[in-house]
Structure 1
Amino acid sequence: MKMTKYSHSCVRFEKAGAVLVLDPGNFSEVEEALEGADAILVTHEHADHIDQERVLPILSEREDLRLYAPAPLAASLREAVEEEVRGRILDVQPDSAFEIAGIGIRSFGGQHALIHPLIPMVRNLAYLIEGGIYHPGDSFIVPNGLKATTLLLPIHAPWSKVGEVIDFLISCGAETAYPIHDALLNGNGRKIVEKHLERFGGMYGTRYVSLASGDVVDV
């Protein structure tokens, strides 16, 4: 399966002609990522993971496009679109398994990582794609009962510190890790973070590979 990384947490998967896009947010190249897509899968409601002002018009225009999201977010999105579009916005429940356009999905977790006690918590779902590729959204939830072969690693966020990122990388034990959630890092800061991830990942058997927006890998 081919994976294209876009800015921040947006990734595009292509398998046997099917296209699934995760988290097309406001730091991302939304229109490019969604070109020819069959479905959108969203981890949570924050704008850096779904840019509603750009995504919903595309969803309305494309009758073949569907959007999957945690139930509270899906309900809110249905209220924001025309009645004929609402049936293409579908709920995802925690701890569920399903298929989107022939691509297998499992959901984990349910809660966004804590930013600050005064900031309300929102629903966040992590997704395992095709039994091996793990996108945690804004969380450090380790998938239970299995080991992902590929980890999409949030390398910088208002809700994390570098030590927590390293611990999550080690805990998941994937063969390979690629960066997501990286738009808030400048070049020098990114080099510092990624040096730690390469070092500690290597110590515990995970190869960390840096990707830029537009890079394509086979996963």
Structure 2
Amino acid sequence: MNLEILFYGQVGFFFKSRGANFLIDPYFSHSVEEKEDRSIKRLLPVFIKPESLTDIDFVLITHAHRDHCDPDTLLPLAKSSPQCHFYGPAPVFKTLKNAGIDSERLHIVGSDSICIKGVNIHPVPSAHPLVNPDEHGGWCATGYVFEVGGGRYYHPGDTAVAPEVIEAVKATGPIDVGMIPVNEINYYRNRENIIGNMSLREAFQFAEDIGVTTFIPTHWDMFAKNQVYREEIELLYTKITPSFELKIMEAGSSIVS
């Protein structure tokens, strides 16, 4: 494997392979606070300006929530990387078309595998909070298993645990690196219209079920209302001692897989 993985907080990743530079769910702005809820402030700086990215080949987007599908990030990125194309479920297509990105650069993802710049991509359902099929044969929230450089990687965006998710990911084969959300669903978050994902215990068991070798926790560091402390993650890992390696990436850091 020879893939550089850069983490920019929440679930935003930049991947650099020999054949392609691509992003999943980049959030490089303050638009959630500015346009949706003044109380939801970034805890992290914006590490990179989207207008500085001139070499992005494609972006995969998991669903249409602003911290995953952010027009304030993706519109300047579309201008600075005119070769870049954008892939996601139908609500993402609608959001980005309305934002002003040319529809010829937008692609609705269904359930069929696709290959982009040598990266083999297998869409799988995400449960956010349930698995919701769409009229295009895919899902309103879509995860991605992608193969590049001899490795298999999994990024679900936001997902709870559901049988359909486990079965679909397992069908693609063992996962070398899983980027899995750990911000749990609970009553108090639901009361504030914050849709959580898996608890830490669920996320660890889910990773075992789908055959993850290296576990990167996501969705734990960006917003105080949705936060999980690093110490919580590390403590549970040492107590449970699961079979995978835990790799906690601080926002702004990178690893080579």
TM range (shorter): 0.7 to 0.9
Structure 2 match to 1:135: 155
**Alignment check: 8 A CA contact 1:198 1:207 kept:** no
Secondary structure, in 3 states, of the residue corresponding to 1:149?
A: strand
Structure 2 match to 1:16: 18
Q: Could you tell me which amino acid in structure 1 is paired with residue 170 of structure 2?
A: N
Q: Could you tell me which amino acid in structure 1 is paired with residue 202 of structure 2?
A: E
Structure 1 match to 2:32: none
Q: Distance in 1 between matches of 2:87 and 2:80?
A: 17
What are structure 2's unaligned runs of at least 5 residues?
30-41, 131-138, 185-195
Q: Could you tell me which amino acid in structure 2 is paired with residue 144 of structure 1?
A: K
In 2 relative to 1, CA 188–102 (structure 1 residues): closer, same or farther, beyond 3 Å? closer
Structure 2 match to 1:191: 231
Of 150, 173, 179, the match for 1:152: 179
Structure 2 length-normalised TM: 0.71
Q: Does 1:39 align with 2:58?
A: yes
Q: Could you tell me which amino acid in structure 2 is paired with residue 20 of structure 1?
A: F
Q: Could you tell me which amino acid in structure 1 is paired with residue 153 of structure 2?
A: I
Q: Distance in 1 between matches of 2:67 and 2:59?
A: 14
Q: Distance in 1 between matches of 2:223 and 2:233?
A: 12
**Alignment check: 8 A CA contact 2:214 2:244 kept:** yes
Q: Distance in 2 between matches of 1:63 and 1:90?
A: 15
Q: Distance in 2 between matches of 1:168 and 1:102?
A: 28
Q: Is the strand fraction higher in 1 or 2?
A: 1
Q: Distance in 1 between matches of 2:200 and 2:143?
A: 20
Q: Distance in 2 between matches of 1:20 and 1:52?
A: 17
What are structure 1's unaligned runs of at least 5 residues?
115-121
Q: Could you tell me which amino acid in structure 1 is paired with residue 232 of structure 2?
A: I
Q: Does 1:165 align with 2:203?
A: yes
Superposed counterparts of 1:62-101, under 5 Å: 62-81=81-100, 85-94=102-111, 96-101=112-117
What is the total number of aligned residue pairs between the two structures?
A: 207
Identity of aligned residues (%): 24
Q: Distance in 2 between matches of 1:192 and 1:212?
A: 15
Once the two structures are TM-superposed, the CA of residue 88 in structure 1 deviates from its matched residue by: 0.4
In 2 relative to 1, CA 30–77 (structure 1 residues): closer, same or farther, beyond 3 Å? farther
Once the two structures are TM-superposed, the CA of residue 209 in structure 1 deviates from its matched residue by: 1.3
Structure 1 length-normalised TM: 0.83
Deviations 1:58-89 (A, max 9, x none): 2145321111111232133223315xx22001
Q: Distance in 2 between matches of 1:34 and 1:194?
A: 33
Secondary structure, in 3 states, of the residue corresponding to 1:40?
A: strand
In 2 relative to 1, CA 198–156 (structure 1 residues): closer, same or farther, beyond 3 Å? farther
Secondary structure, in 3 states, of the residue corresponding to 1:107?
A: strand
Once the two structures are TM-superposed, the CA of residue 162 in structure 1 deviates from its matched residue by: 2.8
Once the two structures are TM-superposed, the CA of residue 212 in structure 1 deviates from its matched residue by: 0.6
